[in-house]
Structure 1
Amino acid sequence: MSAPAPDVPPPGAHARAIDAAYAVLFAAAPLLAVFAHRGFAPLMLVAGVLAATRGELWRLGRNRIIRRPDLRDPLTAGALAVLALSGWIAASGLWSPQPAAGKLALNVAGAAFACGAAVWAASGGPRPRLAALYAGAVILGAALLFIESRTGGLLRALAPPADLSPERHKDITALGRGLTALAPAVFPAAALVHLYAKGRMRAPALAPVALVALALAAALGLTIAANVAALAAGALAAALALAAPRRVLGGLFWLALGLLAAAPLLAAALPAEALATGAFGELPLSWLQRLFIWRAAGGLALDCLPWGCGADFARAYSAAGATVSLPGAEGPVPLLPIHPHSVFLQIWLELGLPGAALFGVVLIAGFALLARADPAPPLAAALAGAAAAVLVSAAIEASLWQVWRLAAVGFAGIGVMLTKCIHDRR
């Protein structure tokens, strides 16, 4: 077996202790998906803190970011862009109508570096037991969510205390958010399942397909259409990446960059009134409202150029009470809720051109890192599936300020790194 690369932590007692702690964290993931999806944020924070107990990580950061920063290195450029973006978020508090910019900046920087550290710590050579536990945790989480989708939330209903409130129906929405947190991890878990099934099953490709199908079946029963779209897009991207890994990963990168660049113009041009009158066929009320939200956010983003309206501006705008009347709604609905249901739009709206440029640098650095790695087809499928699921969620429903969503990306990243370690071992 070849020696680990200089930037990869070598195995040892400390690494084994961290692996044991990771195993406990992975075991908690299925329960978090069912009962407390926001718990993925502290889970990844703990994982990042554990990784930070490795002296190698601090030496790596000091050499690459402080002593000899080389912007040609994607990891360095990406880390510096995250720091600059967080600084800009904090600075936007000077003109934001909300007072939380400093906290939001710390949330973004903390989540990014905690997740990065956790992924790095998973890279220190093959960890078959840890990888198997990760895959098993995702499988169990998907299975539990499928059961919940078919029983109306039986496990949440059985968990004390008894919930007799008239808002019990919100449990299904919470379960849908649990699947949102788990969805990107389905694809690295499926890749791990394939690697373990290879040589042990006559048709090893059926095992990962079954996992993705299980997650999709759960999504169909949990009322959040964005989950279905994310998993379907991830499945398509993963399948295509098996045949053309570099092209698919490159296509996802250019799609993400294009959506970021064009978000406010596309949103402001939406023919929302024509859609509301049924000119293009009837849409569900939630999606009709989303079109109005996007159009309003796009127009406001263009009005606030070049600096943006300030971090968390949408929350203040929502509190002002602007509404719109839609066919089928019982009354007026918010024109812009606490976030515009699109990370790309949110960045333009609240952080302006500097925020969009810095986020674009993060995307470019991430793709450059992948291009250098030149992943083999199984790893490319895991990457493409997770990236496509994240991209769909970011484009049509997510908020940059929801730390649990950032943590979900990190959790999937750990799975991708474990997939790489297992694949390289074979």
Structure 2
Amino acid sequence: MTDAATPFDLKADPTGRLGRSGFAAAAYFALLAPAAVAGGMALAPLQALVGLIVTPLSRDMRRVGLFLLAAAPFIAFAGWAAASYQWSPVPRPEQALKVLGGYVCGVLFVAGLAAGGGKNRALGRAALLSSVIILICLSIVEAGGDLMINRMGTTDTDPGIIERNPGKGVSILVVIIWGAIGALIGGKSTWQRLLWRVLLVCAGLLSLQFNMATNAAGFALGFVGFAFGWMAPRVAPILVAIGLAGWTLVAPWASVFVLSIPGLQDRLPLSWQMRGEIWRYAAARIDERLITGWGLDGARKFGAHTLTVGDMQVQAIPLHPHSFSMHVWLETGLVGASLAAASILAAGIIASRTLGGHRAAAAAAVGAMVAVGAIWNVSYGAWQEWWIAAAFTAAGAAALARR
């Protein structure tokens, strides 16, 4: 099937020659696996560098305009978040630059991979598959080898702390695996049909390791999303985006409503009881500054406050409320939440228009969207650079699955 022009096809090479997008993608994915199993902190600077290298260029102002239109919601959201440091009780201008730079370079990264010609995407797919296989192997070593890789780089002996790094690596695996499956599932050879099944099973089993239930939930929901995208490649990305955007807008009040169900919170595991109390507290603080929020990193103000969970005293908000939606509302208010929802909707529309004619790639995009949304809304903060990079990596992986 020939590729239709899309907002991200600024300079697709019709000759199919290998160029900077293919080689840069190969270099990025070559480094991804070791970076991921070590906790993923290197992903953001790597992606920033590659994003700048693969930036698609064009003299066609119509295509440039389409690209800017597609990128505008993401840049507007990041720009508002960055600007909000000015009224934060914990002003950190360097964090504002990281957030804005992460989103700009992430958009350029995805655009560059999507705009590459056939040979560039083929090289990127091969690099992605190799990276996923290596990441699975390294994660298996960590799971079965007493965290030997991460123990080599630390003097800390607490396994609960050490296993966070490979746990984050599996989070990255759970969101990029769908691009790899999408790249293989349409293959006609026996090895391709076998490999995608093996990779899927391995990723599923690894999602159960390292005491991170959110990885297992993200994988299971990502699998459902992939199947939905396979069945409805043009509609599923938009419907999933509407669902995620809707949750972003109502999360503070919907979370409190669910947690108010009699007896529910008492039946939850301790870690989820702690999340529940953190979300209640965050929702109350959101109501205090509903429109503009407390400003970037304003959640750190509440770290000195404590909450009672069972017999324990815990920080009211330990750095962030462990939910993208709650974090966005808390620090950037209604304005930021609306821009975040617009960005999610834009992602769904772009995926539908760009990948809707390619069933496997659309399925990969939907699987990635669901997995990222599920994990981000119950685990990580909105401004964690490595996880922002992981989300854009998942989008780039889905783009590479387009044949």
TM-score normalised to the size of structure 1? 0.85
How many Å separate the matches in 2 of 1:336 and 1:414?
A: 32
Structure 1's 40 and 90: CA in aligned 2 closer, same or farther, altered over 3 A?
A: closer
Q: What amino acid maps onto 1:44 in structure 2?
A: Q
Aligned to 1:393: 375
Deviation for aligned residue 1:335 = 1.8
2:240 is the counterpart of 1:240: no
Deviation for aligned residue 1:130 = 3.0
Contact 1:4–1:10 (CA<8 Å) still a contact in 2? no
Aligned to 2:19: 16
Aligned to 1:297: 282
Structure 1's 8 and 416: CA in aligned 2 closer, same or farther, altered over 3 A?
A: farther
- Trace 1:27-426 onto structure 2 (pairs within 5 A): 27-52=30-55, 55-56=57-58, 59=59, 73=66, 75-100=67-92, 102-122=93-113, 123-127=115-119, 128-157=122-151, 159=152, 163-195=154-186, 198-201=187-190, 205-271=193-259, 275=263, 282-318=267-303, 321-327=304-310, 331-373=312-354, 374-420=356-402, 423=403
Structure 1's 77 and 17: CA in aligned 2 closer, same or farther, altered over 3 A?
A: closer
Identify unmatched segments of 5+ residues in structure 2.
none
How many Å separate the matches in 2 of 1:388 and 1:3?
A: 25
Aligned-partner SS, 1:396? coil
Structure 1's 272 and 148: CA in aligned 2 closer, same or farther, altered over 3 A?
A: farther
Q: Indicate the structure (1 or 2) with the bigger Cα radius of gyration.
A: 1
How many Å separate the matches in 1 of 2:260 and 2:3?
A: 58
What are the superposed Cα offsets for residues 132-191 of structure 1, whole Å, 9 maximum, x if unpaired? 12111112202221231122212333x3x5x44333541211110111123211000111
Deviation for aligned residue 1:88 = 2.3
Contact 1:193–1:208 (CA<8 Å) still a contact in 2? yes
Structure 1's 386 and 83: CA in aligned 2 closer, same or farther, altered over 3 A?
A: closer
How many Å separate the matches in 2 of 1:300 and 1:343?
A: 15
How many Å separate the matches in 1 of 2:318 and 2:128?
A: 36
Identity of aligned residues (%): 27
How many Å separate the matches in 2 of 1:398 and 1:18?
A: 30
What are the superposed Cα offsets for residues 173-220 of structure 1, whole Å, 9 maximum, x if unpaired? 11101111232110001111223xx32218x55532321221121121
Deviation for aligned residue 1:419 = 0.9
Aligned-partner SS, 1:269? helix
Structure 1's 87 and 322: CA in aligned 2 closer, same or farther, altered over 3 A?
A: same
Aligned-partner SS, 2:234? helix
Structure 1's 265 and 124: CA in aligned 2 closer, same or farther, altered over 3 A?
A: same
Contact 2:51–2:106 (CA<8 Å) still a contact in 1? yes
TM-score normalised to the size of structure 2? 0.89
How many Å separate the matches in 1 of 2:19 and 2:70?
A: 29
Contact 1:118–1:410 (CA<8 Å) still a contact in 2? yes
Identify unmatched segments of 5+ residues in structure 1.
none
What are the superposed Cα offsets for residues 216-240 of structure 1, whole Å, 9 maximum, x if unpaired? 2112111111111111111111123
How many Å separate the matches in 2 of 1:361 and 1:386?
A: 18
How many Å separate the matches in 2 of 1:34 and 1:190?
A: 20
How many Å separate the matches in 2 of 1:130 and 1:79?
A: 22
